[in-house]
Amino acid sequence: MHAGATSAPPPTPSTQQSDNPMSTSAAADTLSRMLHRLPPTLSLPTRRAPPATCPPVPVVSLSRARSNPSLLSSKLGFFELTDHSIPPQLADSAELEALSLFDLPKDKKEACFPRNWPVGFEEGDEVDDDDDVEGLGDSFCLDESCYTESAGLSLASLSEFARSLEKLGLDVIELLCRSVGFECPDLGKKGDPSPTRFCSMMWVAEGLSGKSKTPVAGRFYPYVVGLQYQITSGRKYSLLADSGWVSVVPQVESVLVTIGDIAQVWSNGELKKVRGRPVANLGDEGNKSRRISMSLLVTLPIDTTICPLFPAAACLSCGDQSHVDDDEDGNGRNVESGDHQINDSNAGDNIEIEGRSRVFMSFCLEDYAWRVYHERLHFKDPLDRFRIKN
């Protein structure tokens, strides 16, 4: 061994100056797109702190909300809806049919519900018994094309249940828009050529019981509102709200309504949101427990451009104004949002909508949906990258 002065180790890449003219934001977007195309098996572990118990969930009667929509403008991003018309017998029958899907052999699951992202069957995570994280169980994302009888499967009750929740969800969307003073888009009927036609997905997910009492996050998909019928007393769910993780126990036969990221952008930030679907909390029910969650998501076609909507009062005077949204190269492009359009000539400026500063810039649902679906560590609100910095 030779004596003498030792030299410092070479600097790590993070300490060196970069000569790459690409902006930090652009570089992050490029890296994100690359990572999101990696196989799911390369995802990082889904660890997080246990959810905190939330204050009492707001309970709203649908009949009262129709006469006073402001009752739905929850500061939490979720509420329970009562006085609806969905019978408990239908929910029970739908759950039995949904449970039967998980008893199918893997090859039949894949054959009957082929993967066409996000619709279809997705296999759950493999988790070791000694792992302190509960993995994601098997799940089915079903649209209206999945309910036809095939290979001996009958999902008539699940299909009817989904349609009932969908109808209720459209009523809730209209009332939410009225509650914050924004014009509700004409969502029309599924399949309509209107740019604001809606679509819905029934997400049936299996929870995995293990030693951990910490459920996991994952497989988020953007939506306007989500609806989940509370079938059994004491059934607990974890929600990732704007305020953080919370745990809720809805009333039996109520519908837990979660306000989604699309609704938050539409309202220009007026509405709070929940990221993703409610996650069944199975940690305290023993290793032999089996439970599924059935969440109906009312969302928009994948090619939709999402942006804030005009206040209802402004729509009377603005008519069909066109607007321009800057793309990544700084070039203008026309962007529409339903029947209403927003002046967005420079996404970096302090844009105003009827005297209020605009909070979000326009963005494509497809890229955003892919990003949030495959992101498994939700440390940061995915909508932050679309917030306009003043």
Tell whether omega for the bond before 56 is within 30 degrees of 0, i.e. cis: no
pLDDT of residue 319: 39
| DSSP output for 18-83 | P---S-HHHHHHHHHHHHHTS-GGGPPP---PPPEEPSPPPEEEHHHHHH-GGGG--SSSEEEEES
CB atoms near residue 111 (< 10 Å): 13
d(C-alpha 203, C-alpha 352), whole Å: 37
237 three-state secondary structure: strand
Reference 219, options 101, 376, 388; nearest CA is: 376
Tokens of 108: 């039949």
d(C-alpha 196, C-alpha 184), whole Å: 10
Helix H or strand E encompassing 201: strand 199-206
| pTM of the predicted protein model | 0.75
d(C-alpha 217, C-alpha 239), whole Å: 9
Helix H or strand E encompassing 92: helix 88-102
Query: pLDDT by residue for the chain (390 residues), tens digit each?
Result: 444 554 555 554 444 444 444 455 555 555 555 554 554 444 444 444 555 556 678 999 999 999 999 988 778 899 999 999 999 999 999 999 999 999 999 999 999 999 999 999 998 766 555 454 455 678 999 998 888 766 678 899 999 999 999 999 999 999 999 998 888 887 765 555 554 578 999 999 876 554 444 455 557 899 999 999 999 888 888 888 888 888 899 999 999 999 999 999 999 999 999 988 888 776 554 444 567 889 999 999 999 999 998 775 444 333 333 333 444 433 333 334 433 333 343 333 445 555 568 899 999 999 999 988 887 656 688 999 999 987
Residue burial 113-146, b: 16+ Cβ < 10 Å; e: rest: beeeebbbbbeebebeeeeebbbbbbbbbbbbeb
248 touches 57 (CB < 8 A): yes
Q: How far apart are the first and last CA of the chain?
A: 60
pLDDT of residue 289: 55
pLDDT of residue 141: 94
What radius of gyration, in Å, describes the C-alpha atoms of the chain?
23
Rounded to 10°, the helix 24-36/365-374 angle is 70
